[in-house]
Chain A
Amino acid sequence: MEHLRLIGKTYNDYCEIIDSYKADYKKTKAKAEKEIIKQKIKEKKNELKEYRKTLSKEEKEVYRDYQKIRFDIKRCEILKKADKIESKIFKKVNPAYIYMIPAAFGAIFFTILPAIFMVIGSFFKVDLVSIWESSFRGFWNYEMIFTRDTEFVKAIWNTIIFAFFTVFLLMIITLLMASWLSKNTKIHNLSQTMIFTPHIASMVSVSILWILMLDPQGIINQILSLLGIEGPNWLMNTKTSLLSVGFVTVWKSIGYYVLIIIAGLQSIPAYVYEAARLDKASKFTIFRKITVPLLSETLMFVFIMKFINSFKSFAAIDLMTQGGPRGSSMVLGYWIYNAGRVKFNYGFAMAGALILTIIVALFTVLANQVFKKKVE
């Protein structure tokens, strides 16, 4: 034991000496003296190396241990210094601001500034090629899209219909599916996975798949014809095009929202259901009076998320109908894209985008109010 401890002592002594030399080296300024000290350090290091070579295998292990401990102590000293500097900074600045920087960077440059640009731009006749040629027109853009553009007002109504249709269809389907799937067996877990897969798939592949299925001679119409029903040309019919696309987006997002609702269902404690069974409640009463009220916060989240998503839906429309036929499936998201990127009329697009923002905000606030009353 004693001789093993001696190894540590010798090692530490050597290190102390080397460290003191190093400190001297930093202090001295004359070049000649520096060289001398450098030489001394080298000598001591060599001595330490020689000493190490004399050790046996077992002793070397002890030596390494001591080495590790010394490094660790040094590391802690450095960390302490860093902590001191950190606390000095944080005493003056609220750390929250520092942690916010990365997120704030993205938000400012990709959301807030473009939004301000959008608001300003909506009052100009914008020319993106030579931006200084743009001229201020006041409310001219708004006047134009409401009076001259045949499709804009229709797009607003379509968007609202689309949003309500998808949200309610989604909520009914997901709530039923979730209450069915909220069990922990192999079959239920497998079905959960299967229902979730469309959410992972890209919108493009899902859309192409459904275009083929919704074709007049597609699988859906073939099945319907077996039942003796003549299915319409789903995507090319002015009456069905919007709802068909809505159905596809609902189908794609079922898995994701089912998962959220299942999480909500599982947070309802089991004893509440046991108490309800003792209270003679039928299954339907339990669902209506216990499950839905206790789930209302989750349902509100699903409602608002899907609502906002439906308002800005674009990809599915672009891929499946391009707003047609005759503007029957034109929604605001696609109209804005069409006005800006296709017709290069950025003033119109910006005015439309601002109106979309206002509508989304209005509906979200309204939904929030309604749900808040119900939750309380």
Chain B
Amino acid sequence: MATIELQNVVKIYGAKVKKNSKEIPKGKRAVDDVSFQIPSGSFTILVGPSGCGKTTLLRMIAGLEDITMGVVKIGEIDITNLEPGDRGIAMVFQNYALYPHMTVRENIEFGLVNARIPKFEIKERVSEALKIVGLEDYQERKPANLSGGQRQRVALARAISKTPQCFLMDEPLSNLDAKLRSEMRTELIQLHQKLMSTFIYVTHDQIEAMTMGDNIVVMNEGKIMQQGTPSEIHNDPNCVFVAKFIGDPGMNIIKVDEKYSIGFRPRDVQFDSEKNEKEDAVFVKTKILSFENHGSEFLYLVNFDTTTAFVKELSKHNRKVSSEISFSILKKDMYIFDENDNRVYDQEKIEEAYGTFKTHWENV
């Protein structure tokens, strides 16, 4: 068990690093000056859109990519320049990365033999790992004769058998079909609880991030936007990007004026409410452009002045397209962002933005 610490980590592809030179290499930064801590025993999720540098960051922790600048520590040990095999980590790849010419047992054994572990212990560890993933009967099969889910389990068993301080997972579920994915999701959560070691999990799927992790790191364009628990990230986003990225669908962002924009979640609206002067709320009357049927709830795309917004209603009956819809948004459900897309916490400014928004909408 150990915390993982990243200090000012930078990745520039194709940059040559000279030792002991203070010159800062130039180029496009895939990972841009990232610093954060991963608490010991946490299930940390790196989430972000494709190309945001999350996989690069994970591969840098694994040692598969050189670290252009910065320091990575596991516990007190600086592992920046260590070989991948010496870092005390295990990785599960998106495409499983099993050795195609070896049987399941040989696949798991390979790393243990290289680590010069005595035979009796290897035997025990292999059977232990296979038991955890439930593949005891498949020991002598080759990866080609296994299904996608089974292959992923073998990859997991290979990681487990090394008893690492930290598991790194690079979108391990994205090659599985939807049903198997949700099964494996719960299995991974259970595995984490059983092993109690640190998990770092990369995904682009915010639902996966919200459901699995207890510590979420949202990344965009090589930078960390926000780090926190799932509830913090969802209920208290610190910028427009996080607000829009998390949630299904993400937050509606409406521009108020040059300075401010406000956001509200599609779920946080009161339908068919009467205009009420006492309550701190904005009353909206508009038209439905289209809708999606989600079974127990309906998602409506509504016209919002010059832009559009999503609202979600828990109901079994759908409203008709292009019919009128009215709802009110409570003041406490609104999030205010400034012109740089950062969250505004200052009470005065919030009042100001809210006032403009309200007067604008009451007059439409």
Please tell me which one of the listed residues A271, A280, A293, A294 contacts residue B97 in the complex, with CB atoms under 8 A apart: A271
CB distance from A57 to the nearest CB of B (A): 50
| CB-CB nearest 4 A-B residue pairs | A280-B85, A279-B111, A271-B97, A275-B97
Which chain A residue lies CB-closest to B95?
A271
CB distance from A277 to the nearest CB of B (A): 5
Which chain B residue lies CB-closest to A278?
B84
Q: Contacts A271-B95, A294-B101: A277 and B114 contacting too (C-beta < 8 A)?
A: no
A289 within 8 A of B: yes
**A277-B63, A280-B114, A294-B100 given; 19 more Cβ-contact pairs under 8 Å:** A269-B95, A271-B95, A272-B100, A274-B93, A275-B91, A276-B110, A277-B64, A278-B62, A278-B64, A278-B84, A278-B85, A278-B89, A278-B91, A279-B85, A280-B83, A281-B111, A281-B114, A282-B114, A285-B114
CB distance from A297 to the nearest CB of B (A): 10
- Contact: A280 with B115, CB < 8 Å? yes
- Contact: A275 with B85, CB < 8 Å? no
How many angstroms between the C-alpha atoms of A101 and B110 in the bound complex?
A: 52
Mask, B93-123, CB within 8 Å of A = 1, is 1010111110000000011001100000000
- Contact: A274 with B64, CB < 8 Å? yes
A interface residues (Cβ-Cβ under 8 A, vs B): 269, 271-272, 274-282, 285, 289-290, 293-294
- Contact: B97 with A274, CB < 8 Å? yes
CB distance from A290 to the nearest CB of B (A): 7
A-B contacts, 23 listed (Cβ < 8 Å) = A271-B93, A271-B97, A272-B97, A272-B99, A274-B97, A275-B93, A275-B97, A275-B98, A276-B99, A277-B63, A277-B85, A278-B62, A278-B63, A278-B89, A278-B111, A279-B110, A280-B83, A280-B111, A280-B114, A281-B85, A285-B114, A289-B110, A293-B101
B86 within 8 A of A: yes
B interface residues (Cβ-Cβ under 8 A, vs A): 62-64, 83-86, 89-91, 93, 95, 97-101, 110-111, 114-115
User: Inside 8 A of A275's CB, which chain B residues have their CB?
Assistant: 91, 93, 97-99
CB distance from B362 to the nearest CB of A (A): 54
User: Inside 8 A of B90's CB, which chain A residues have their CB?
Assistant: 278
How many angstroms between the C-alpha atoms of A293 and B90 in the bound complex?
A: 24
User: Inside 8 A of B91's CB, which chain A residues have their CB?
Assistant: 275, 278
- A274, A275, A277, A285 pick with most chain B CB within 10 angstroms: A275
Which chain B residue lies CB-closest to A271?
B97
Q: Contacts A294-B100, A294-B101: A279 and B93 contacting too (C-beta < 8 A)?
A: no
User: Inside 8 A of A280's CB, which chain B residues have their CB?
Assistant: 83, 85-86, 111, 114-115
CB distance from B91 to the nearest CB of A (A): 5
- Contact: B84 with A277, CB < 8 Å? yes
CB distance from B153 to the nearest CB of A (A): 16
User: Inside 8 A of A293's CB, which chain B residues have their CB?
Assistant: 101
CB distance from A109 to the nearest CB of B (A): 44
How many angstroms between the C-alpha atoms of A269 and B97 in the bound complex?
A: 9
How many angstroms between the C-alpha atoms of A274 and B90 in the bound complex?
A: 11
How many angstroms between the C-alpha atoms of A274 and B98 in the bound complex?
A: 10
User: Inside 8 A of B89's CB, which chain A residues have their CB?
Assistant: 278
User: Inside 8 A of B63's CB, which chain A residues have their CB?
Assistant: 277-278
User: Inside 8 A of A274's CB, which chain B residues have their CB?
Assistant: 64, 84, 93, 97
- Contact: B83 with A277, CB < 8 Å? yes
User: Inside 8 A of B100's CB, which chain A residues have their CB?
Assistant: 272, 294
Which chain A residue lies CB-closest to B98?
A275
CB distance from A65 to the nearest CB of B (A): 43
CB distance from A252 to the nearest CB of B (A): 32
CB distance from B225 to the nearest CB of A (A): 28
How many angstroms between the C-alpha atoms of A282 and B84 in the bound complex?
A: 11
User: Inside 8 A of B83's CB, which chain A residues have their CB?
Assistant: 277, 280
CB distance from A288 to the nearest CB of B (A): 12
Which chain A residue lies CB-closest to B142?
A376
Which chain B residue lies CB-closest to A374?
B101
User: Inside 8 A of B101's CB, which chain A residues have their CB?
Assistant: 293-294
How many angstroms between the C-alpha atoms of A106 and B313 in the bound complex?
A: 76
User: Inside 8 A of B93's CB, which chain A residues have their CB?
Assistant: 271, 274-275
- Contact: B95 with A290, CB < 8 Å? no
How many angstroms between the C-alpha atoms of A294 and B101 in the bound complex?
A: 7
